Amino acid sequence: MNQRMRKYKQSASRLLSLAVRNHPVEIIRTSAFESPFAE
């Protein structure tokens, strides 16, 4: 269980960094519109 979570976090962070490196503007725009904390 712990291993699975650790592996998931690693792959998620890797995907996130990859996405940010490829499309920073799109990520910021979508996060700004879709974030539940955006006002």
Report pLDDT for 33: 64
Phi/psi for 37 (5° steps) reads -95, -5
pLDDT tens profile 1-39: 688 889 888 888 888 787 777 666 766 666 666 656 554
Give the C-alpha separation, 25 to 33, whole Å: 12
How many Cα atoms occupy the beta-carbon half-sphere of 31 within 13 Å? Answer: 9
Give the C-alpha separation, 23 to 9, whole Å: 21
Report pLDDT for 37: 56
- The crossing angle, in degrees rounded to 10, of helices 24-34 and 2-22 is 120
The overall pTM is greater than 0.75: no
Report pLDDT for 32: 62
Give the C-alpha separation, 35 to 22, whole Å: 20
